[in-house]
Amino acid sequence: MRAYIARRLLQAALVVFGVITMMFFLFRLMPADPTTMLVQAGLPDEARQQLLERWGLTGSLSAQYWRYLANIATGEFGSSFFYQRPAGEVLLPRILNTAWIAIPGILLGTLFGCTLGVAVGWARRGSVLERAGIFLATIVRGVPSFVLGIFMLMIFSTWLRWLPGFGIGQLGSGSGIERFFTWSFLHHLILPTLTLAIFFIPENLLLMRAGIVESRGEDYLELVRAKGVSEARVAWHAARNSLLPVITWLFPALAETVAGIVVIEVVFSWPGVGRELVLAVNRQDYPIAQAAFFMLAVMIVLANLLADLVYAKLDPRVTYT
């Protein structure tokens, strides 16, 4: 088990290293002078040279690469042109904001999606529930996340005026996590989280349903039913086994998941890492863009790692070799 975790950690580290290297070349692909990317224009020559050296933009490509690696290893992503502060410092609180909507959103979406998937998969073949469930899921899956966000905004914020759809509201005082426990913040949290959850439902539903349909013919379900347990309990056995392919699917899907988060943050003006990335790109604030992209990539790697460990935990047949 420990060796398995160690091996997965090593793999994750390799991916992160790959992302860092990719970023190095990507940000030097700019058609314009690459140095303008990380150093603000209009500085006096001397200050400019100083900054170039500090951010490793002088010397040969390999020398630049090493300095770049060293900078990232120490958490230096450069200074934001827009905020005039180190990029890491700008983004750290944004990560927390992203987590506030991402974690409950993903959990809720997976929970509802899987539950509905069990219901649709358990329904009689060709029944109204099955056909309506699949049809609706397929349609909702085709709704782009920003369209979903705009619809939610139009319905709940503009039309019904139930929920605010802009920003994170009034935070409390203090520096710890307690400043988030205000009614205003929680009120603002609802709409983006709900949108994210709905965004996740169809894919989970369809996958769970496919798993259930496949496992319905399994011998062990027959035996469970013969034992005289409730039908819900039989469905539970099917669901528990179908959960495994859903988690396997989570792995490649997590990379796509971030797309939903980025867009929804923009729609609801939620100050998270994703929105900061979009703002930075539009402002040509490359240090922030680079750091934000890096953070999102690391989040994916960590989430993948977690998915793998959860899978190993849920499937007793997995051997840790």
Nearest distance from C-beta of residue 174 to other proteins, angstroms = 32
Note whether 194 binds other proteins by CB under 8 A: no
Query: Can you list the pairs that 304-308 forms with residues at least 24 positions away whose Cβ atoms lie under 8 Å?
Result: 304/12, 304/251, 304/254, 305/8, 305/9, 305/12, 307/247, 307/250, 307/251, 307/254, 308/8, 308/251
Site string for other proteins, 38-77 (x = CB under 8 A): ----------------------------------------
Note whether 292 binds other proteins by CB under 8 A: yes
- Rule CB under 8 A: choose which of 268, 300, 308, 312 binds other proteins: 300
Nearest residue (CB) to other proteins, 74 versus 158: 158
Window of 17-25, 79-87, 107-115, 178-186 that interacts with other proteins by CB under 8 A: 17-25
Instruction: Name residues contacting other proteins, limited to 259-288 (CB under 8 A).
Output: 259, 262-263, 266-267, 274, 277-278, 281-282, 284
Window of 54-62, 109-117, 187-195, 289-297 that interacts with other proteins by CB under 8 A: 289-297
Other beta carbons within 10 Å of 62 = 8
Instruction: Name residues contacting other proteins, limited to 223-262 (CB under 8 A).
Output: 223-231, 233, 237, 240-241, 244, 251-252, 255-256, 258-259, 262
CB-based contacts of 208: which residues, under 8 Å, 6+ apart? Answer: 113, 114, 116, 117, 118, 121, 239, 242, 243, 246
Nearest residue (CB) to other proteins, 79 versus 98: 98
Nearest distance from C-beta of residue 179 to other proteins, angstroms = 28
Note whether 107 binds other proteins by CB under 8 A: no
Q: How far is CA 197 from the centre of its chain?
A: 12
Contact 58, 52 (CB under 8 A): yes
Note whether 219 binds other proteins by CB under 8 A: yes
Total binding residues toward other proteins, as defined by CB under 8 A: 81
Note whether 317 binds other proteins by CB under 8 A: yes
Q: Dihedral sign for Cα 107, 110, 114, 116, please.
A: positive
Nearest distance from C-beta of residue 205 to other proteins, angstroms = 12
Specify the 3-state DSSP secondary structure of 86.
strand
Tell me how far apart the alpha carbons of residues 211 and 161 are, in angstroms, rounded to a whole number.
40
- Rule CB under 8 A: choose which of 60, 74, 84, 158 binds other proteins: 158
Instruction: Name residues contacting other proteins, limited to 120-149 (CB under 8 A).
Output: 124-125, 134-135, 138-139, 141-147
Note whether 10 binds other proteins by CB under 8 A: no
Contact 201, 118 (CB under 8 A): no
Closest CA relative to residue 53, chosen from 38, 43, 41, 42: 38
Contact 190, 105 (CB under 8 A): no
